[in-house]
């Protein structure tokens, strides 16, 4: 693409024309709100009658809610991979994707906190975690690092927005009138002075570096909720990296899906090009390969020894009750996507969208397979209890409550992308050779 | 500044007299502080002595751990903690001087399930909620099946306590792992961590909840049970406080359970009321623990199911199909 055709006016209008309230937005948010209300009604039933409205019981005590929580934490990790790891390495092509990745990170991390509340038997005692918190408990570590990661991600999203908002509230006439003062306040009087840019760049760099340990921690600690127990299937030393690498797979897929829809709906074809999809395809293939490597370790090593507990667990996964889901997820959601992504033609926008949707769905079921089957075969036999204690099956109310966080994530992403440029404006202008922007 | 400093130090070295004077003053100061401190100490000691009156009226009191002691009546003070605060600190301190231990003789269990019903009755549990459950076990295909009563193992290294985020479940000095359901947030991490599946949850409104509305909570009995919280075997801590054997131990018709104090090295059979040496009982009968390889250090010991008194019978389930 010829960079000369990008003037600041064109870039500004291209990247901000979606910032307005239109019919499509209202319908979409209306549908989301209505669905959310249905789910909230389901949650009110749970609040009134207790967790018994869900299918979880004394043996499978962590069900959809917890596997959902793991999935949400996982998806949020992509902000760190795209912005921090790849960004610090100096990959220039990432610029238009960074804000998408950070939006996903912020949305999923914020909602993950809510998901875990839906799993509490006594949600009104949530603050006890702060009043009586015991630092020995991994839950305390999880709460700490999730709040840290969320804060860092939010700041990281905000810093590049300062310049963007300064440009927009001065140069974009079509900005909704009520949004203008908001932009003015949030732009913090930015006027593109070298000193201001230096501060923002330095702060961003510090945040990027801090983001790496924070992100690694949130998913490692989340994996420890399982790995600190001695149950077969959870009692694993590689759960930390296994979860982290899996998180990158889910997150990369989520970013590709978001890229596709933003590109189409906000007409960003000039900025989110086939090259970006091609590169994201390579990223997705790479992280999937790493995840495959950890999967091989996680299943082959205990499978070779077949200690009693592991033998029962693996038998159920490989050839038992969960075999269909297991192999569909492993082959369809991991091995086949890797094979397809090796070919350039499958890294074009539409094919990679389809692959990413499959990968993301598989990633959700993978969390289910990590959380639930282990609990169905504890060390001691399950006896003299009702049938629904022995086998877990989610109820309708539980499913609705589990859908709510997805709706919330979509709402957050929609709102952020509707009121702020999806692609960093100031940085893009810089990269297109516009060194100084006139502030009128 | 620097110049001033150097001239100052020069002065000091040139004027040995000045230096002595300074030292002298310093010493006086130190001595003064010392005297003042000593005087203050003496004075406060005097006040304390003056206050310490003796009435000569000796009262005989019973301490928490059951010893009779004599105390001057003026020394008796009202409890600092009262009501809920007091009971909570008692719950957490446990029963001083004790190390409770249970021995379950598998050769005597015929799955009468009397322990279970006594336990469920005492703790207001539904039929499918077990603090104590009898499992039908079979170690290997060639070995015979047997009944194994299983309750909380009151581990000395309890995985459940380690993971609790709010200190709702804790290990007491007397060995009991307790749970307070007015603290529990219902995260169920303890249930995930327990390798013995010993913990249960109040998924729905507890049994006859309406009848127990005004009842004062007692953590040592864990009643009234509370919706959305975890419950488990407590070694009948409320009974132990009264000097009685646990509900299950007392209810067993077949002499399966021994219960007692490791510090005394004595356990009492709940059926025959015979008291025996713990160490000898375990040694003579090859006592063992459940899954000791997990490092949990259980306080429940099992005696192997050899020379069984009763033939093994398949148990009939009386629990509802779905709850």
Give the C-alpha separation, A381 to A389, whole Å.
Answer: 12
Rounded to the nearest angstrom, the gap between the alpha carbon of residue B44 and the centroid of all alpha carbons in its chain is: 40
B156/A68 Cα distance (integer angstroms): 34
Of the candidates A82, A209, A104, the one whose C-alpha atom is nearest the C-alpha of residue A150 is: A104
In a domain, B89, yes or no: yes
Over residues A259-296, the pLDDT tens digits come to 999 999 999 999 999 999 999 999 999 999 999 999 99
Mean pLDDT value across residues A76-82: 91
Total domain count, chain A: 1
Q: Is residue A302 part of a domain?
A: no
For residue A389, is it within any domain? no
What pLDDT, on a 0 to 100 scale, did the predictor assign at position B26?
73
Q: Where are the alpha helices (DSSP H) in A188-346?
A: 194-227, 239-265, 274-305, 308-318, 323-327, 336-341
Establish if B49 belongs to a structural domain. Answer: no
Q: Which residue has the tokens 């010829």?
A: A2
- Residue of A145, A383, A388 to mutate, testing the B interface (most B Cβ within 10 Å of its Cβ): A383
pLDDT, one tens digit per residue, over A416-430 is: 999 999 999 999 998
Percent of chain A with pLDDT over 70: 98
Yes or no, beta carbons of A228 and B136 under 8 Å apart:
no
B117, B177: one domain: yes
Please tell me whether residue B223 adopts helix, strand or coil conformation. strand
How confident is the model at residue B13, as a pLDDT?
A: 46
B136 with B204, same domain: the answer is yes
DSSP lists the bridge partners of residue A392 as: none
Residue A291 lies in a domain: no
pLDDT for B148 equals 97
CB of A227 closer than 8 Å to CB of A240? yes
CA dihedral sign, ordered B233, B234, B238, B244: positive
Å between B49 CA and nearest CA of chain A: 41
Residues B131 and B199 in one domain: yes
Distance from CA of B113 to the nearest CA of A (A): 11
Task: For residue B48, tell me if it sits in a domain.
Answer: no
pLDDT at B72 (0 to 100): 85
Bridge-based pairing of strands B300-303 and B100-105 is parallel
Q: Would you say residue A344 has pLDDT above 50?
A: yes
Mean pLDDT of A226-236: 96
Residue B272 belongs to domain with CATH number: 3.30.70.20
The reply to whether A365 falls in a domain is no
B42 in any annotated domain: no
* Residue B120 sits in the same domain as residue B222: yes
Quick one: angle between helices A239-265 and A64-76, nearest 10? 70
- Residue A111, pLDDT > 60, answer yes
Tell whether B22 and B120 lie within a shared domain: no
pLDDT beyond 90 at A400: yes
- Partner A contacted by B36 (CB < 8 A): no
Which range of residues forms the domain containing residue A240? 3-275+395-431
Burial of B84 (0-12, 13-18, 19+ CB in 10 A): exposed
pLDDT at residue B78 in the model: 76
- Per the domain annotation, does B16 fall within a domain? yes
Residues B323, A57: C-beta atoms closer than 8 Å: yes
The radius of gyration of chain B's CA atoms, rounded to the nearest angstrom, is 31
**Residues B99, B226 within the same domain:** yes
Please give the model's pTM, rounded to 2 decimal places: 0.88
Is residue A227 domain-resident?
yes
Return d(Cα A280, Cα A337) in angstroms, integer.
13
B185 and A57 within 8 Å at the Cβ level: the answer is no
Report the residue of chain B nearest A124, measured CA to CA: B185
Residues B202 and B97 reside in one and the same domain: yes
Q: Please name which of A308, A17, A382 lies closest in space to residue A173, comparing C-alpha atoms.
A: A17
A328 lies in some domain: no
What's the domain count of chain B? 2
Q: Is A342 within the bounds of a domain?
A: no
Which residue in the set A123, A139, A379 is minimally distant from B165, CB to CB? Answer: A139
Q: Is B137 on the interface with A (CB under 8 A)?
A: yes
Q: Do A122 and B229 touch (CB under 8 A)?
A: yes
* B15 in the same domain as B142: no
Mean local confidence (pLDDT), A357-386: 97
Question: Which of A25-29, A77-81, A294-298, B22-26 has the least mean pLDDT?
Answer: B22-26
Domain contains A298: no
What residue numbers bound the domain in which B29 lies?
1-34
Task: Give the confidence band of A5 by pLDDT, cuts at 50, 70, 90.
Answer: confident
Give yes or no: residues B132 and B22 share one domain.
Answer: no
Q: What is the ipTM of this complex?
A: 0.93
CATH code where residue A27 lies: 1.20.1630
Residues B150, B284, single domain; the answer is yes
Residues in chain A: 440
Does residue B18 sit in the same domain as residue B88? no
Tell whether the model's pLDDT for residue A3 goes beyond 70: no
In a domain, B68, yes or no: no
Question: Which pLDDT score, from 0 to 100, does residue B19 have?
Answer: 60
Both B112 and B253 in one domain: the answer is: yes
For A162-212, the pLDDT digits (tens) are 999 999 988 888 888 888 899 999 999 999 889 999 999 999 999 999 999
Q: Which residues of chain B have pLDDT under 70?
A: 1-22, 48-53, 64-65, 80-83, 317-318
Residue A1 has pLDDT above 50, yes or no: no
For residue A167, give the 3-state DSSP assignment: helix
């Amino acid at each position: 693409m010829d960079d000369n055709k990008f003037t600041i006016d064109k870039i500004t209008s291209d990247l901000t024309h979606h910032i307005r309230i239109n019919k499509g937005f209202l319908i979409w948010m209306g549908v989301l709100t209505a669905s959310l209300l249905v789910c909230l009604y389901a949650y009110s039933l749970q609040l009134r009658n207790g967790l018994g409205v869900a299918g979880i019981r004394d043996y499978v005590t962590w069900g959809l809610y917890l596997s959902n929580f793991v999935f949400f934490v996982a998806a949020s990790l992509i902000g760190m991979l795209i912005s921090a790891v790849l960004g610090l390495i100096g990959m220039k092509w990432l610029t238009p994707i960074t804000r998408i990745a950070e939006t996903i990170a912020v949305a999923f991390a914020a909602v993950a906190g809510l998901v875990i509340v839906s799993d509490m038997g006594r949600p009104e005692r949530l603050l006890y975690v702060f009043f009586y918190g015991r630092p020995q408990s991994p839950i305390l570590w999880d709460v700490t690092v999730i709040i840290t990661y969320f804060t860092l991600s939010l700041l990281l999203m905000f810093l590049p927005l300062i310049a963007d908002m300064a440009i927009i509230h001065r140069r974009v006439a079509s900005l909704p009138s009520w949004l203008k003062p908001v932009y003015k306040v949030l732009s913090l009087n930015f006027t593109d002075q070298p000193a201001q840019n230096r501060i923002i760049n330095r702060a961003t760099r510090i945040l990027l570096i801090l983001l790496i340990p924070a992100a690694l921690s949130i998913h490692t600690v989340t994996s420890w909720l399982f790995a600190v127990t001695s149950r077969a299937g959870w009692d694993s030393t590689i759960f930390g990296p296994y979860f982290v690498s899996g998180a990158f797979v889910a997150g990369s897929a989520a970013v590709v899906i978001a890229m596709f829809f933003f590109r189409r709906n906000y007409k960003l074809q000039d900025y989110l090009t086939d090259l970006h999809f091609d590169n994201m395809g390579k990223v997705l293939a790479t992280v999937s390969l790493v995840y495959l490597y950890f999967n091989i370790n996680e299943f082959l090593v205990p499978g070779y020894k077949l200690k009693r507990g592991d033998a029962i667990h693996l038998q159920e996964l490989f050839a038992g009750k969960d075999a269909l889901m297991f192999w569909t997820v492993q082959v369809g959601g991991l091995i086949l996507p890797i094979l397809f992504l090796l070919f350039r033609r499958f890294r074009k926008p539409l094919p990679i969208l389809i692959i990413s949707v499959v990968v993301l769905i598989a990633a959700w079921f993978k969390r289910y397979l990590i959380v639930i089957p282990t609990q169905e075969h504890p060390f001691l036999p399950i006896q003299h209890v009702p049938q629904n204690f022995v086998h877990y099956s989610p109820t309708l109310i539980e499913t609705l409550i589990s859908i709510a966080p997805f709706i919330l994530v979509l709402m957050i992403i929609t709102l952020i992308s509707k009121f702020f440029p999806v692609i960093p404006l100031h940085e893009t202008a810089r990269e297109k050779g516009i060194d100084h922007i006139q502030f009128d | 500044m620097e110049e001033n400093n150097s001239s100052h130090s020069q002065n000091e070295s040139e004027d040995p007299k000045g230096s002595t004077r300074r030292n002298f003053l310093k010493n006086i100061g130190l001595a003064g502080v010392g005297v003042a401190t000593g005087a203050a100490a003496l004075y406060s000691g005097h006040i304390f002595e003056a206050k310490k009156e003796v009435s000569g009226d000796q009262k005989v009191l019973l301490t928490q751990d059951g010893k009779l002691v004599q105390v001057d009546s003026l020394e008796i003070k009202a409890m600092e903690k009262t009501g809920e605060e007091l009971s909570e600190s008692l719950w957490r301190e446990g029963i001083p001087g004790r190390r409770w231990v249970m021995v379950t003789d598998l050769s005597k269990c015929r799955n009468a399930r009397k322990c279970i019903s006594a336990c469920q009755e005492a703790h207001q549990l539904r039929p499918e909620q077990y603090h104590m459950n009898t499992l039908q076990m079979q170690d290997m295909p060639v070995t015979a099946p047997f009944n194994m009563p299983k309750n909380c193992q009151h581990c000395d290294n309890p995985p459940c306590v380690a993971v609790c985020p709010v200190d709702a479940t804790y290990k007491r000095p007397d060995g009991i792992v307790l749970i307070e359901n007015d603290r529990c947030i219902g995260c169920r991490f303890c249930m995930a961590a327990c390798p013995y599946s010993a913990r249960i949850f109040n998924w729905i409104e507890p049994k006859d909840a309406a009848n127990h509305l005004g009842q004062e909570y007692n953590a040592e009995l864990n009643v009234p049970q509370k919706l959305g919280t975890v419950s488990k075997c407590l070694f009948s801590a409320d009974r132990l406080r009264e000097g009685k054997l646990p509900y299950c131990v007392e209810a067993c018709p077949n002499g399966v359970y021994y219960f007692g104090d490791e510090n005394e090295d004595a356990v009492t059979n709940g059926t025959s009321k015979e008291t025996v040496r713990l160490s000898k009982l375990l040694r003579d009968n090859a006592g063992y623990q459940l899954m000791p390889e997990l490092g949990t250090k259980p306080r429940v010991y099992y005696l192997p199911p050899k020379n069984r008194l009763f033939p093994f019978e398949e148990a009939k389930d009386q629990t509802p199909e779905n709850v």
